Amino acid sequence: MARSIPFCAVTTCLLLITGLCYRVAADGLVNEEVKRTVDLSTHLAKITAEILLSNQGDSVVHSFILAVEPDLAPNLAYVGASVILSHILRPFPTHITQAERQLVVFQGNHYLYSPYPTRSQTTRVRLASKTVESYTKLGNPSKSDEAIEYGPFHDVAPFSEDALKVHYENNTPFLTISSITRIIEVSHWGNIAVEETIDMRHTGAFLKGPFSRYDYQRQSDSGISSVKSFKTILPASAQDVYYRDEIGNISTSHLQILEDSVEVEVRPRFPLFGGWKTHYIIGYNLPSYEYLYTLGDQYALKMRLVDHVYDDQVIDSLTVKLILPEGARNIHVETPYPIDRIPDQLHYTYLDTFGRPVLVVSKNNLVEQHIQDVVVHYTFNKILMLQEPLLVVGAFYILFFTVIIYVRLDFSITKDPAAEVRMKVSSITEQVLTLVNKRFGLYRHMDEVVNRYKQSRDTGALNSGRKTLEADHRTLTNDISSLQARLKAEGSDLTDKVGEVQKLDGQVKELVCRSWQEAERLVAGKVKKEAYIDNEKTLSTKRLELVTRIDSLLDTL
């Protein structure tokens, strides 16, 4: 009783043989019908096999073995729904001029390379163009537009090989990323910065002879195998995209924001011909809430280990650096496929004290199918979030404090007694000035009182005003005299001037008293109004004169 297992290369368990024969026939599996498709329309070889499998043995089979030819093994990039081989298409001729088209050779196997015998099989080769220079003619294949059909072949022995060789025209971009460094920097302040440094080269047929811009611009089929631009698809939430190299921004790019992605039309500074290479940096920011998951102190970052650069990409060497926040501990990584861990590093950037942990992983020979998520688990104490603001606050605090200390304290190593005295004297004169001003204020106040008295004829108010004036005046004069004494003690020559001011002030005081008496007399009717006005005028001119003199004295202080 034969049990057939329809198989589409997606198996529960997959084993690979890339080497010598293996003792396998024992479990009695047979490939009943195989439909093999070799897709050579890009610069990759994608080999898909639809296998109808039957178990002719007695025991139950849980797994079966998929084998790859030993010659192709070094080029094997990915095994999944199809086997993908990179760098398997060899340009032939290896050097072409700008006007020529690119011809490539594929060397493979007519048969399915399998540890089991095959009953019947067909192989279909899909090409990139109609132009085919030559192809092996095993079993009289039929060639349609862009495909060659081999077979059906019957009863093929296990591990049988027969060289399939196709030499055909293929002008698809033969771009290869010779190395890419992807830096993912996670910040708990809500941002994930991604930066990719890419070394890229055109691995098709080398350009021979001159590159003529005239032909390139005027003839559409000139340099047909060269690469002018390609599209890079970034995550939909990517912001602040930049595209630059060592000498600055590359101004030839375009950015298009679509609903589910951000598309960058990456145009290198110059078109890439065979053998030419370029180097650039592309970077963007992502909001962390889409990629960072948290539960208490537990964090999980789920991001693509490698992202899309161009369709059907080939990456020779990938290095991913995951920079986690400062203070992240218990880090462990779940990768979708085995990759090499390189010892962790530390990274220092803004406001870091003990460095951020950096996970470094690397892998060679990747293709588009490797765009899968990696998950990084780590714990992070949320208190540490405060560290950076506190650092800034502390720095400013120290700055201001230093300034305050510097301004307040005297750091001079010499002492200048003269300057010291001068300072004291100037502070005393300062006080004298304020006091003298106050005294003038008193006089003005008294004038007002007198005026009010002239209208209201209230002797009581006048007298009380006079009393307060006299009292205040006395205290002020005493204060000034004491200050004068202190000035004298300091040995300043300003003492005399202050004394003169005092003397003049006495005269002013007298005048004020007289004007007040005059007013009293006027109110009492002892003087006539005209006489009073005359008197008042002379008094005020005298007073003004005195005040001016005092002013000039004060100015010299």
Partner 1 sequence: MAEQHTAADGKHKASPNAGGSLHGNSRTNAVGGGGGKGGLSGGLAQPAGWQSLLSFTILFLAWLAGFSSRLFAVIRFESIIHEFDPWFNYRSTHHLTTNGFYEFLNWFDERSWYPLGRIVGGTVYPGLMVTAGLIHYVLNLLHLTVHIRDVCVFLAPVFSGLTSISTFLLTRELWNQGAGLLAACFIAIVPGYISRSVAGSFDNEGIAIFALQFTYYLWVKSIKTGSVFWSIGCCLSYFYMVSAWGGYVFIINLIPLHVFVLLLMQRYSRRVYIAYSTFYIVGLVLSMQIPFVGFQPIRTSEHMAAAGVFALLQAYALLQYLKDRLTKQEFQTLFFLGVSLAAGVVFFTIHIPIIASVSEHQPTTWVSFFFDLHILVCTFPAGLWFCIKNVNDERVFVALYAISAVYFAGVMVRLMLTLTPVVCMLSAIAFSSVFEHYLGDDMKRENPPIEDSSDEDDKRSSGNLYDKAGKVRKHVSEQEKAEEGLGPNIKSIVTMLMLMLLMMFAVHCTWVTSNAYSSPSVVLASYNNDGTRNILDDFREAYYWLRQNTDEHARVMSWWDYGYQIAGMANRTTLVDNNTWNNSHIALVGKAMSSNESAAYEIMRSLDVDYVLIIFGGVIGYSGDDINKFLWMVRIAEGEHPKDIRESDYFTPQGEFRVDKAGSPVLLNCLMYKMSYYRFGEMQLDFRTPPGFDRTRNAEIGNKDIKFKHLEEAFTSEHWLVRIYKVKKLENREPLEHKLRSIVPRQKYTSKKTAKRKRGHIRNKLVLKKGKKLNKK
Site for partner 1 in 356-415 (CB under 8 A): 407-408, 410
407 Cβ contact list (under 8 Å, min separation 6): none
Residues in contact with partner 1, total (CB under 8 A)?
51
Which of 39, 52, 137 minimizes the C-alpha distance to 82?
39
Q: Which of 133, 161, 240, 416 binds partner 1 (CB under 8 A)?
A: 416
Contact in structure between 504 and 526 (CB atoms under 8 Å)? no
Q: Quote the least distance from Cβ 255 to partner 1, whole Å.
A: 15
CA distance 428 to 483: 7
Q: Which two tokens stand for residue 336?
A: 């979708």
* CB within 8 Å of 482: residues ≥ 6 apart: none
**What tokens appear for 440 in the block?**
């003038």
Q: Interface residues for partner 1 in 337-356 (CB under 8 A)?
A: 348-352
Q: Restricting to residues 417-476, name those near partner 1 by CB under 8 A.
A: 419, 422-423, 426-427, 430, 433, 436-437, 440-441, 444-445
Complex with partner 1: residue 213 or 467, whichever CB lies closer? 213
The answer to whether residues 280 and 198 touch, using CB atoms and an 8 Å cutoff, is: yes
- Residue 215 dihedral angles phi and psi, to the nearest 5°: -65, -40
Q: How far is the CB of 519 from partner 1 (least distance, A)?
A: 19
By CB under 8 A, tell whether 278 contacts partner 1. Answer: yes
Distance of CA 467 to the CA centre of its chain: 78
Minimum Å gap between C-beta 269 and partner 1 is: 4
Map residues 243-262 to x or -, x wherever contact with partner 1 holds by CB under 8 A: --xxxxxxxx----------
Choose which of 119, 143, 167, 279 interacts with partner 1 (CB under 8 A).
279
Whole-angstrom distance, CA of residue 396 vs CA of residue 4: 76
Question: How far is 369 from 77, CA to CA, in rounded Å?
Answer: 9
Question: Would you say 7 or 211 has its CB closer to partner 1?
Answer: 211
Given candidates 90, 137, 213, 382, which one binds partner 1 under the rule CB under 8 A?
213
Residue identified by tokens 């803004």 is: 350
* Residue 548 binding partner 1, by CB under 8 A: yes
d(CA 322, CA 309) in angstroms, rounded, equals 19
Nearest to partner 1 of 167, 267 (CB atom): 267
DSSP assignment letter at 527: S
Residue closer to partner 1 by CB (options 155, 214) is 214
Identified binder of partner 1 from the candidate list 19, 80, 209, 394, rule CB under 8 A: 209
- According to the binding rule CB under 8 A, does residue 270 interact with partner 1? yes
308, 264 Cβ separation under 8 angstroms: no
Binding site for partner 1 (CB under 8 A): 209-214, 218, 245-252, 269-270, 275-279, 348-352, 407-408, 410, 416, 419, 422-423, 426-427, 430, 433, 436-437, 440-441, 444-445, 544, 547-548, 550-551, 554-555
